Amino acid sequence: MLSYRHSFHAGNFADVLKHLVLIKILEHLCKKDKAFFCIDTHSGPGEYVLNGDYALKNKEFETGITQLWQRTKLPEDLNTYVNLIKKFNSTDSLLRYPGSPLITQQFLRNKDHLALFELHSTEIELLKTATNKDKRIHAHHADGLSSAIALLPPKQHRGLVFIDPSYEIKSDYESVINSLTQMHKRFATGIYALWYPVIDRKRNQKLEKALKTSGIQNIQLFELSIKEDSLEHGMTASGMIVINPPWTLSTDMQQTLSWLSNTLGVDGAGSYRIETLVAE
């Protein structure tokens, strides 16, 4: 877990989906004047250099943000996403990619707050550097899954918990369910967004089953595949599971995921899935 560096994967197709959903949720929270509180349980360093050694090793950004960067015509939601990424690049070249902490920061108003958690000793220092001038943001060198529970319910009584583990350890699949269940008991009206990879479909099926039997209601799933499921090494798809999603999210994502699956799919193998795991 502590060896994981997201810099190898920054800007890939999974980040496109992950951050698109994050932006849609943040836009929803900003529609009301009342303050909100966000928690990011696995924050990383805050932003990524795409022309650095880590990102260039596998060039995974070429399967994601690069495919959208130079297009003049995009679906509305993707246009919003790409324009936000462009704010972090001073030229027309795609050199930097923001992580979820800096994306969330773009939506914070003076009354809103963000708690960040990161365990990696190097990444937490980079994260603090990236956010230390912002009094609305507090970065903690701690395990986000366990530490976030103590911050709930927030005094604002509305907000988002963004959960983005590495899943390097198989037990992460169980840990996220246990933590989600405890968080939801303390803050049942909050929005929860859980990212997952598809590497072994059986693990994902167990994850979905655990959520369906957790007693938590109003759960939707959004999944983007660029290849067919395979037993070979590597991620073929990824998804976002959202508890208490914005009521327009499913409809909005229908067109966007259709476009992304056609555009990012490898050799025409792209597909998508939108499903209500548990109704309201």
Catalytic residue, candidates 15, 77, 112, 164: 164
Residue found by looking up tokens 């914070």 in the block? 108
Q: Are 192 and 242 in contact (CB under 8 A)?
A: yes
- Is 164 in the active site? yes
CB burial class (10 A; 0-12, 13-18, 19+) of residue 194?
buried
* Number of Cβ atoms within 10 Å of the Cβ of 208: 18
Q: Taking the C-alpha atoms of 95, 38, 16 and 125 in order, what is their torsion angle to the nearest 10 degrees?
A: 40
Peptide bond into 246 cis (omega under 30): no
Range 119-155 burial, b when 16+ CB lie within 10 A, else e: bbeebbebbbebbeeeeebebbbebbbebbbebbebe
**Active site residue ranges:** 164
